[in-house]
Chain A
């Protein structure tokens, strides 16, 4: 096996793992009950899925063409930083506009903290 075949296998593995994570997150968006658990599914696993896909692509172009794509590295950095913050902001906006939690939830600590703050 030469370097090209190995790099294709490794980068293909990363891309497939990333795709599976994105698929799982899409299932989470359909199956989970309220916006907070959905945001949990949407931000975490999709971020990891996109990171894996971008890293697989980066590895492929590095190994086969010898081309180190700064743009892909910057994209990994950028998605890793922004996606969780976007999820945080959406959840916060939902909580502040009184979107209800799911019926199964047993505890709401933030409510008391916000009451105390006012």
Chain B
């Protein structure tokens, strides 16, 4: 039996649409983490799943062109950001990992509650997304 030429038009079209929805929802969950369910961990996993959907639908070569990041270095960047939030408060004389919360008036959004735990959460987000994608892509590339 001959190999049937694959034709994934439906899957590819839906992925183009749905990847944006998943990515937007992951960012929303990341920012909602302070007062609602959500946060860096689940946001990072959701971003990784959106990327994974794209890796599943399009082939590896074109995805490497679209996302030219090295995911292992993203883990390092996330860890550095998380440590940086702790060390930066040490420089001001507070204990390690002291966090602050303040309502700050901004020009367009009105009063926004800004907190220094958000950069820490960004570090968690990057580490989780990087680790999930590294594990899965390493296993996926193994067969060559």
Binding site for B on A (CB under 8 A): 74, 77-78, 81-82, 85, 88-89, 96, 114, 117-118
Contact = CB atoms under 8 A, between A and B. Distances in A.
A117 B14 contact: no
B21 A114 contact: no
Nearest to B3: A118
Given A74-B21, A74-B25, A78-B21, A85 B4 contact: no
B4 A81 contact: no
B66 interface: no
B139 interface: no
A93 to B, nearest CB: 11
Q: Is the interface of A mostly helix, strand, loop or mixed?
A: helix
Q: Is the interface of B mostly helix, strand, loop or mixed?
A: helix
Given A74-B21, A74-B25, A81 B2 contact: no
Contacts of B5: 117
A96 B4 contact: yes
Nearest to A85: B14
B25 A81 contact: no
Contacts of B2: 118
9 contacts: A81-B17, A81-B18, A82-B14, A89-B11, A96-B4, A114-B4, A117-B4, A118-B2, A118-B4
Given A81-B18, A89-B10, 12 more contacts: A74-B25, A78-B18, A82-B14, A85-B10, A85-B11, A85-B14, A88-B10, A89-B11, A114-B4, A117-B5, A118-B2, A118-B4
Nearest to B22: A78
Interface string B1-19: 0101100001100100110
